[in-house]
Every structure is written in structure tokens, then in C-alpha cells.
Amino acid sequence: MEAQQNFVPVNDLETQLLQTQLGRIPASEFLDGLLAAQVVVLLDKDPGPSGVWDNSASPLVLSNAAGSPVFAMFTAPERSTSWHKQLPQFEFGLATQFQWLLRGIASGVGIVINPGHTVGLELTPEAVANLKTRLQASAVAT
């Protein structure tokens, strides 16, 4: 809890994530915010000034404690800084819509938000699939 108290949110998504971890808002409210938010991913190739991610670039994908793949995402650019130092091949950051990334995640892959930070979250592949379903349902409803 002390580490969470030292975490200073820099945007609305981080505020929602912290409030969720502290039990002050339901996880579903955070997930709604995540679906509408921009996140940062690290790439092994410069997306260039236009910020376009082409298929020759690979994102940072880590392994969780069970050895399963998890796509690393960050709630703000400054949350990714330590990963640049640990894995210098992933030196390029790209801020993009979470929804766009979600659509491209393969089945069987989870998501880890803010890996290495006390204020973070891991979503299982099943939770990712549920979010995809939720996103599709909301697209149909609009």
C-alpha cells in the first residue's frame, strides 16, 4: 500500500487504475476507461514521425510467472523508462489507442499494464478475449 501511496498519477487512466487497486472503484469502471484510453507500447523499430506501426516492428511481449506471453502496455511514457534500460532493443515508444491494440492481440496472449510498477495490472488471455467481445458488442450497439 505504501508504494501505491507514492504513485502519483499523471493522467485519468492512471487515476482510475490506482483507484481500482485501492478498491475505491470497480474493475469494470477501469476497463471502460481503458477501452477509451491511449496507452504506450515499446517497439523494436522506430515508428517514424507519423507514428505508424508497420508489420516489421515487434512490440515488447514479456512472459508472466507461469511462462505465458503478455503484451506489455504502459499508462504513460514515463512508466516505460526502465524497460528501455533493461531491453535496449525496445527503445521506441508509441502512444496509440488501446482499442486498436486490443483488436490485434492473438488468442492465448494476455496483457500486462505497467510491468514492474506497483500500480499495474495483468489481464489473462480469457480477460483479453472478454474485452474483445465487449468492444465488438459496443461497436454493434452504436
Confidence of residue 136 (pLDDT cuts 50, 70, 90): confident
Residues 81-96 have pLDDT tens digits of: 999 889 999 999 999 9
Cell numbers that stand for 18 in this block = 490506482
Query: Contact 77/125 with Cβ under 8 angstroms?
Result: no
Domain 39-141 class in CATH: alpha beta
pTM: 0.91
What's the confidence (pLDDT) of residue 138? 77
Domain ranges (residues) in the chain: 39-141
